[in-house]
Structure formats: structure tokens, C-alpha cells
Chains A and B, each alone.
Chain A
Amino acid sequence: EIVLTQSPATLSLSPGERATLSCRASQSVRSNLAWYQQKPGQAPRLLIYGASNRATGIPARFSGSGSGTDFTLTISSLEPEDFAVYYCQQRNNWPPITFGQGTRLEIK
């Protein structure tokens, strides 16, 4: 089973700042990595697929990069609605599909 480790667990930033979230895989997942955003009481929303492709309707301030074992989600300039929990997910070697433990992005 591929383990995804996200860091940091919590990130405290202010609106307008740049956010950099990390996801590391226990073995290569090539580019088969996705990022999701989840707000309290809501279902997850797909942000990025294939490591670097924005999903439909996702603003350009969200970008993904990386391949193999190290991946990054960058939010170039934080908007108030971006404060949420972010999960990475792999489906390169599956089953099982696995998720990282999440990074909580909170307002500083």
C-alpha cells in the first residue's frame, strides 16, 4: 500500500499570502496524484488531477507540481474562501486508493 504523507499538518497564513503544501509518497506514483479541498460540512472538491492539471472551474491561483514521490500544491495568493483542509490522493498502485492525512490551512 502506498502511504502519502502531507506536510505541514497545519499551515497558518494570511489572505494574499502564498501557500505551499507538500505531499510525499512512499513509492513512485508517477503523475497519478490528485488534490482535493474540503470545507467544514462539505464533500471534498477535486482541485488538481494528474499532478498538475486544474479541474474544471478551479481558479488559476491553484497549481500543482511534481512527479514520482514529491508533489506540491501552491495557492499563489490566498483568498478568504481558500481556508480549508487539503488532501492528496494517489491511484497509481491500487487498490487501495490512498489519501494523505490532510493539511489544514487556517487564517493567521
Chain B
Amino acid sequence: EVQLVESGGGLVQPGGSLRLSCAASGFTLSSYSMNWVRQAPGKGLEWVSYISSSSGTIYYADSVKGRFTMSRDNAKNSLYLQMNSLRAEDTAVYYCAREDAVANTDYWGQGTLVTVSS
């Protein structure tokens, strides 16, 4: 069974940092591109970042470019999102999501809540 489990969320002050992790199981992570998508409380979905299977291509939304860094460790079946210089508007549930062979986001984790507040 494919599973994605996010962790690392919590309460952080504006300007602070957090590192989110996503543990993958039930499939070979190294074969798949992955995304982070976030959802502010009561709002819609916003794509945050993409990483190819080999980490050769990484993209970011303009809203996080220069502040967030996406990475992966295929040997550990894990995906990461390093978030620096956090702002109140980064408050959201962060989901990791797998892309299938035709770039559909076919599996999502249950999300981890990040709250940026003083």
C-alpha cells in the first residue's frame, strides 16, 4: 500500500525556520517525481514545489522562491522541505504528493500543519 506520511510541522515565529519531512512507503521513491502542495486554513490548494526523481529538476512557486528548499533522499525513502524566513501567510497544511508516470498527482499524504505566529 502506498503511504506518504508528513512530519515536522508546528508553531514557529515569523522569520523562523522549519524542516518538513515526508516518509514514503509501499513504492520505490526513486522512481517518482514529487510535489509539496499547501492549503491555508479554509482556503484552496496551492502548489509549492516540485522535484524530479533524480533531483535534477526542482521548481518553486514564486511565493516561496528563495526561502524554501526541496530535497530528497531516495536511500531513506524521504522527501524534505526546508522552510526559512517564514511569514504569517505560510500558515497552512503542507501535503507531499506523488506524481505517476504521466504526471498525475495520484497519492497524497495526510498533511502537516505549519502555523507562523508570534
Which of B47, B59, B110, B111 makes the CB contact (< 8 A) with A99? Answer: B47
Partner of A55, one of B44, B46, B106: B106
Q: What interface size band does chain B fall in?
A: 20 to 34
- Give A50's nearest chain B residue, CB to CB: B102
Cβ A43 vs Cβ B111 within 8 A: yes
Check B47 against A43 for contact (C-beta < 8 Å): no
Contact B60 A95 (CB under 8 A): yes
Contact in complex: A101, B44 (CB < 8 Å): yes
B104 in contact with A55 (CB, 8 Å): yes
The reply on A98 being an interface residue by CB < 8 A is yes
Residue B54 interfacial (CB < 8 Å)? no
Q: Does A80 contact B (CB under 8 A)?
A: no
CA distance A99 to B45 in the complex (A): 6
Partner of B50, one of A87, A89, A95, A102: A95
The residues in A between 8 and 53 inclusive whose CB is less than 8 angstroms from any CB of B are 34, 36, 38, 42-46, 49-50
**How far is A44 from B110 in the complex, measured between Cα atoms in Å?**
9
- Check A43 against B108 for contact (C-beta < 8 Å): yes
Is residue A64 within 8 Å, beta carbon to beta carbon, of the partner chain? Answer: no
How distant is the Cα of A98 from the Cα of B109 in the complex, in angstroms?
19
Q: Is the C-beta of B1 less than 8 angstroms from some C-beta in chain A?
A: no
Name the residue on B nearest A102 (C-beta).
B44
* Interchain CB contact under 8 A, B44 and A97: no
Given contact pairs A43-B95, A91-B103, A97-B47, enumerate 16 new A-B contacts (beta carbons under 8 Å): A34-B104, A42-B110, A43-B111, A44-B37, A44-B45, A46-B104, A50-B102, A55-B106, A87-B44, A87-B45, A97-B35, A98-B47, A99-B45, A99-B46, A99-B47, A102-B44
Q: Please name 6 pairs of A and B residues whose Cβ atoms are closer than 8 Å in the assembled complex, sorted by A.
A: A44-B45, A46-B106, A50-B102, A91-B103, A96-B47, A96-B61
**Interface residues of A, Cβ cutoff 8 Å to B:** 34, 36, 38, 42-46, 49-50, 55-56, 87, 89, 91, 94-102
B: residues with CB less than 8 A from A are 35, 37, 44-47, 50, 59-62, 95, 102-106, 108-111
